[in-house]
Amino acid sequence: MVKLKQQSKWVLLLVSVVLVFALTACGDTKDAAKETGQGTTPSETAATTEAPKSDVSLTLWHFKVAFDPGLKAVADAFKEKTGVTVVTQVTTPAETYNQKMTASATANSLPDLYITGAAPGAGAYDGRAMSWTEELEKDSGWKNSFFPAALSGVMVNQGAIDGWNADVKASDWQKARTVGEYYGIPIDVGAFYTIYGNAKLIEQAGLPTTAPASMEDWLENMKTVKEKTGVPGFVFSAKTFTVYENWMANFVDYMKNGPEEYTKFMNGESKMSDPAHIQAAQFIEDVTKSGNMIPGAVSLDIDPADQAFAQGKAAYSLGGTFTYASLTQMGMDPKDIISFRVPAYKGSKIPDAQVTPFALTQIHVKDKGSHQKEAIEFVKFLTSDEGMTLYANAAFDIPAVNIKNTDALNDTIKSMLNSLSSESNWFSENVNISNKIFEPQWNKFHEMKQKIILGAATAIQAAEAFDKATEAEKAKK
């Protein structure tokens, strides 16, 4: 069940990230407009012509409260340019939205535009959504503006086709798909391996709000914050299996050891108790023994852990890029949030490793709708540099487009974007290796990790228990 929750947060592990969080966010769209050059002085306004007039009104359905300020900011700018009105409608929770969408598709009454989770063929409703394949092929500049992993996350691939052909419940339409088709356009991306910091607490401790140079420096920063403010340094959902393991530990091991040794470790050919890999357990022990693990961490689910950080109960929190919107919805001022990629240990082989983002959600246009032309124009504007900047700043979300000029983005989003790679790399291309984090031996580590936090086990005991579980699993194969 936890694995499904993880899958709902990212398309890499996939499909319904949308089910994890129904968020509320707010953003100053006027400031966003100024930052992107849309704001005008009174004299400039007088000199410009009136906005085009149109009686066309498009309806856009979606399921995320946090998206609405961003979508409305884009809709306002789109109306100024075209005269076309775009009305957004939010339905929550996600389960209710999904039921509404299914009923509307069955009745052939889908809205002009709608948003779903990002996955190949998701939201197509057996062809009731328009195919974007031709539009993307004839506009290579637009197609190439997306993060590669964003588009690949919504493209029909052979794996999806094989799955449909093997599924007795799959429709004839699904089984007739071909590789390379698109039925939605990605609007945001996400990644794990993100640390958030409370700028107020960090500054109160006399520390810079820049990213620490190494894991060792970060651990020292936690100690300083605790000494100066009395607030623990770290919070994460220690109750939830794979949050630490899949959002931090595996990537840290990859950075420290490089692809070859990391692969051996994940395949059970190297031991966690070896010096090269003990840090997975040692980090938990170090943070706990220094008094920097927030009390009650083993009982915290993901949202309560985020809430504790938002309330100033810890200086740093482990999350993903998608956590940012949650924190703002929980009341944190964006100015008080810093972020950086999980640090590497000193001497790591790939200390500057970048993370390849994956698609989270996609937008669809109803096929053969009465205003399909205008709906297509809106999607293209939304996914332009201008539209994505407006959206990102107001929705506190990471855009699916590799924006050329990031100066207009708020600092936290800019920082997260700088840690992302626009190209695939070894880590992103070998998810079959990183996905071994879901195997039973890692469940054993999760159990031992909790014992370390509770003072019932040491790092070496946890590592040895993991090694023993790994050997047991290998013997079953």
237-246, 275-284, 425-434, 448-457: least confidently modelled range: 425-434
The mean pLDDT value for 308-318 works out to 98
475: three-class secondary structure by DSSP = helix
Q: Give 296's pLDDT tier (boundaries 50, 70, 90).
A: very high
Query: Would you say 207 and 224 are in contact if contact means Cβ atoms under 8 Å apart?
Result: yes
The mean pLDDT value for 340-367 works out to 94
Q: Give 32's pLDDT tier (boundaries 50, 70, 90).
A: very low
Can you give the three-state secondary structure of 14-60, one letter per residue?
A: CCCHHHCCCCCCCCCHHHHHHHCCCCCCHHHHHHCCCCCCCCCEEEE
39-43, 64-68, 372-376: least confidently modelled range: 39-43
Q: Give 78's pLDDT tier (boundaries 50, 70, 90).
A: very high
d(CA 416, CA 428): 17
Residue ranges, CATH 3.40.190.10, the chain: 2-190+358-404, 194-354+427-476
Stronger pLDDT, 251 or 163, i.e. the higher one: 251
Under CATH, what is the fold of the domain 2-190+358-404? D-Maltodextrin-Binding Protein; domain 2 (3.40.190)
108-117, 361-370, 403-412: least confidently modelled range: 403-412
DSSP 410-436: -HHHHHHHHTB-SS--HHHHTHHHHGG
Say which amino acid occupies 225: V
Stronger pLDDT, 310 or 148, i.e. the higher one: 310
Complete edge-to-edge strand list for the sheet that includes strand 337-341? 234-235, 316-319, 194-198, 337-341
| pLDDT of res. 108 | 95
Say which amino acid occupies 325: A
Stronger pLDDT, 386 or 355, i.e. the higher one: 386
On the question of pLDDT at 7 being above 50, the answer is: no
The model's pTM: 0.74
Query: Would you say 186 and 18 are in contact if contact means Cβ atoms under 8 Å apart?
Result: no
Stronger pLDDT, 109 or 54, i.e. the higher one: 109
Query: Would you say 113 and 363 are in contact if contact means Cβ atoms under 8 Å apart?
Result: yes
The mean pLDDT value for 290-310 works out to 96
The mean pLDDT value for 401-423 works out to 85
The Cβ of residue 362 has, within 10 Å, a number of other Cβ atoms equal to: 28
Helix, strand, coil in percent for the chain, rounding step 5: 50, 10, 40
d(CA 234, CA 244): 12
Whether the bond into 399 is cis, omega within 30 of 0: no
Angle at 78 between CA 76 and CA 84, to 5 degrees: 95
| pLDDT of res. 428 | 82
| pLDDT of res. 49 | 57
The mean pLDDT value for 14-39 works out to 37
d(CA 99, CA 104): 9
Report which DSSP code applies to 246.
I
180-184, 333-337, 355-359: least confidently modelled range: 355-359
On the question of pLDDT at 31 being above 60, the answer is: no
109-113, 194-198, 252-256, 352-356: least confidently modelled range: 352-356
d(CA 477, CA 270): 17
Average pLDDT, the chain: 89
Class of domain 194-354+427-476: alpha beta
On the question of pLDDT at 56 being above 90, the answer is: yes
The Cβ of residue 444 has, within 10 Å, a number of other Cβ atoms equal to: 19
Q: CB under 8 Å to 322, separation ≥6 — which residues? A: 9, 10, 17, 21, 190, 360, 397, 398
Nearest to 264 by CA among 3, 47, 410, 470: 470
| pLDDT of res. 93 | 85
First to last CA, the chain: 24
d(CA 449, CA 456): 10
